[in-house]
């Protein structure tokens, strides 16, 4: 693994711990947003490892990750949907207002569980050849 990819994976691990702490004190919006961020950094690690490039935008990371994992039988279903689904949660927390703009504890917990799986998947991938 390149040092850069390793740095991204280290950066992905920290938000997982932070999101868990946030849930314990009912900071559900922040926990959901932070679960997304963990996955975003894990995706950046894979992109960096496989292409040598750094993609910084949310859309760019999602697009490049989908391109790089196309045909990967281990990266299907829930893993493939993780970034787009949790980005929607991040959008609710960051931009929406009104009674439906609250992220519930369950809405934040499920993505945190998924984020752990998502990050772990990339931590355990063989390095690029």
The yes-or-no verdict on residue 105 having pLDDT over 70 is yes
- Whether residue 19 is contained in a domain is answered as yes
Mean pLDDT of 40-69: 94
pLDDT tens digits along 7-40? 999 999 999 999 999 999 999 999 999 999 999 9
Predicted confidence band of residue 47 (pLDDT cuts 50, 70, 90): very high
For residue 95, is it within any domain? yes
Q: Give a yes or no: residue 128 inside a domain.
A: no
Residue 111 domain flag: yes
**pLDDT at residue number 44:** 95
CA–CA separation, 89 and 111 (whole Å): 9
| Average of per-residue pLDDT values in the chain | 89
CA distance 59 to 64: 8
Residue 70 domain-assigned (yes or no): yes
Domain of 84? 3-123
The pLDDT of residue 98 is: 86
The helix/strand/coil state of 104 is coil
Domain count along the chain: 1
Per-residue CA distances from 61 to 22, 24, 27, 46, 105 (Å): 25, 30, 26, 10, 27
Give a yes or no: residue 109 inside a domain: yes
Average pLDDT over residues 64-69: 93
Say what the pLDDT of residue 128 is. 45
| CATH number of the domain enclosing 116 | 1.20.120.330
Q: How far is CA 122 from CA 94, 100, 101, in A?
A: 27, 33, 31
Give the pLDDT confidence score for residue 129 in this predicted structure: 38
- For tokens 């990967």, the residue is 72
Mean pLDDT across the stretch 100-119? Answer: 88
Give the Cα separation of 65 and 80 in Å (integer): 9
- The separation between CA 107 and the C-alpha centre of its own chain, rounded to angstroms, equals 15
> Is 46 among the domain residues?
yes
* Mean pLDDT within 81-104: 85
**Is 129 among the domain residues?**
no
26: which DSSP letter?
T
């Amino acid at each position: 693994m390149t040092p850069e990819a390793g740095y991204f994976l280290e950066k992905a691990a920290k938000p997982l711990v932070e999101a868990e702490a946030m849930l314990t004190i009912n900071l559900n919006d922040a926990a959901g947003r932070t679960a997304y961020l963990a996955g975003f950094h894990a995706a950046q690690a894979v992109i960096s490892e496989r292409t040598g490039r750094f993609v910084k935008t949310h859309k760019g990371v999602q697009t490049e990750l989908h391109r790089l994992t196309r045909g990967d039988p281990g990266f299907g279903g829930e893993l493939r949907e993780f970034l787009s689904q949790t980005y929607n949660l991040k959008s609710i927390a960051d931009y929406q207002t009104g009674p439906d703009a609250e992220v519930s504890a369950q809405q934040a917990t499920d993505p945190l569980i998924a984020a752990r799986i998502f990050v772990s998947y990339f931590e355990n991938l063989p390095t690029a050849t």
